[in-house]
Amino acid sequence: MDNQKKVLVTGATRGMGKEISKVLAEKGYHVILGARSLQDGQSIVKELESKGLSVTTVQLDVTDINSVQSAAQEINALDILINNAGVALEASSPSKLDVTKVKNEFDVNVFGVINVTSAILPLLQKEKEAKIINMSSMMGSLNSVLDKDSIVYDVSVAGYQSSKAALNMYSIQLSKELEKEGYDISVDLVDPGMVATEFGGLDPETAKKMGARSIDEGIKRVIELVEQDRKDKNITFTNNDGVVPW
């Protein structure tokens, strides 16, 4: 149908990205699965189409500018961009960080978001209103990691945390730019919390034993933001419990 809203989800072939895609398709959105492996994307499309859902896929490696630009050319219209792709590779103490791994984290978590957003933005700017939702983390909140009462105070994964802090700043500045230029495009950051997926090299069962929440709980806030009628376009940083401090 012509008025069906179109959503692009990066990192859509596993974990939260796959579940976000499924839930939004079930809610009537046309979902474009951004897949680093086109074969994996096509497999999920086949699975979801068998349930009568409206989905397509594009090959999309957020760290490869040629892949990103090709994907943007394949997509002729878009209402919502969900920058979900992310990695956590380095858990050493700050004084012993592997810079190569940290660079790889920034390549996906920061530069990948910038690559995709820059390429897709012209499509969003054509719409009457549009949304950008970036997957962040409370671990990138400067206030939270300095708060001794915070659940992330004792967590130290400096590479990942730095990448999410950088993503937050980029998102703030993007939101301010779009508002200044008069575009009706909201930019929001979501902290999903620790979720029982394979993210960070854990298996879901191990993650559950460590207190991770279900994927349904992890994607809840993203789904709410997609469906929310946003009158106020000021940037937000939220999770299921409310506002996350900057």
Which tens digits make up the pLDDT trace of 142-165? 999 999 999 999 999 999 999 999
Q: Does the pLDDT of residue 223 top 80, yes or no?
A: yes
Band the pLDDT of 197: cuts 50, 70, 90: low
pLDDT level of residue 85 (50, 70, 90 thresholds): very high
Mean pLDDT throughout 15-38? Answer: 98
Instruction: Please check the confidence at residue 1 and state whether its pLDDT lies above 50.
Output: no
Q: What pLDDT, on the 0 to 100 scale, is given for residue 212?
A: 63
Catalytic residues: 160, 164
- What DSSP string runs through 79-142? SEEEE--------S-GGG--HHHHHHHHIIIIIHHHHHHHHHHHHHHTSSSEEEEEE--GGG-H
Q: What is the pLDDT of residue 3?
A: 85
pLDDT at 84 over 50: yes
Q: What's the pLDDT score for residue 206?
A: 56
Interval 20-29 mean pLDDT? 98
How far apart are alpha carbons 164 and 155 in whole angstroms? 14
Q: Mean pLDDT in the chain? A: 93
Token pair 């671990």: residue: 139
Q: What's the whole-number mean pLDDT along residues 107-116? A: 99
- The residue ranking higher by pLDDT, 88 or 203, is 88
Cα–Cα distances in Å, from 20 out to 11, 47, 60, 67? Answer: 10, 15, 17, 22
75: amino acid identity, one letter: I
**35 exposure class (CB count in 10 Å sphere: 0-12, 13-18, 19+):** buried
Per-residue pLDDT averaged across 201-217, rounded? 64
- How far is residue 215's CA from residue 199's CA, in Å, rounded to a whole number? 11
Both tokens assigned to 111: 């530069």
